[in-house]
Amino acid sequence: MTFVVTENCIKCKFTDCVDVCPVDCFHVGPNFLVIDPDECIDCTLCEPECPAEAIFSEDELPEGQEQFIELNAELAKSWPVISEVIEPLDDAKEWDGKPGKLALLEK
């Protein structure tokens, strides 16, 4: 089992989760974070730290978010590791909770 960053992270990119990760399994892109499933140790520390509530166990993904399992694995291969907190995107709070953001993902 691994944890997965889902759609609500898109255009928010809060990094509170990165700060608590003991194995640096987060990778950062232009407007989204992903978790490397090969590095995640299922410690559960990141899930409660996400202000956007965008991190879930792959076994407990909300309906319609299953595609993010593969998306996290794919993007983790090409995006750099992030291990320190950075400022969220300027309009992150405005995008938090808005549905249908997958088309806005910048790779």
pTM, whole model, 2 decimals?
A: 0.97
Residue 20, domain extent: 3-83
Angstrom CA distances, 2 to 46, 53, 88, stand at 11, 16, 24
CATH number at residue 66: 3.30.70.20
pLDDT computed for residue 36 by the predictor: 98
92 assigned to some structural domain: no
Q: How many Å apart are CA 28 and CA 38, to the nearest integer?
A: 16
Per-residue tokens: 3: 């944890």
DSSP 50-63: -TT--EEEGGGPPT
Structural domain count, the chain: 1
Q: How far apart are the first and last CA of the chain?
A: 25
Quick check: is 26 in a domain? yes
Residues paired with 56 in a beta bridge? 4
Angle at alpha carbon of residue 9, lines to 65 and 57, rounded to 5°: 50
In-domain check, residue 99:
no
CA atoms within 13 A on the CB side of 72: 27
pLDDT in tens, 6-62: 999 999 999 999 999 999 999 999 999 999 999 999 999 999 999 999 999 999 999
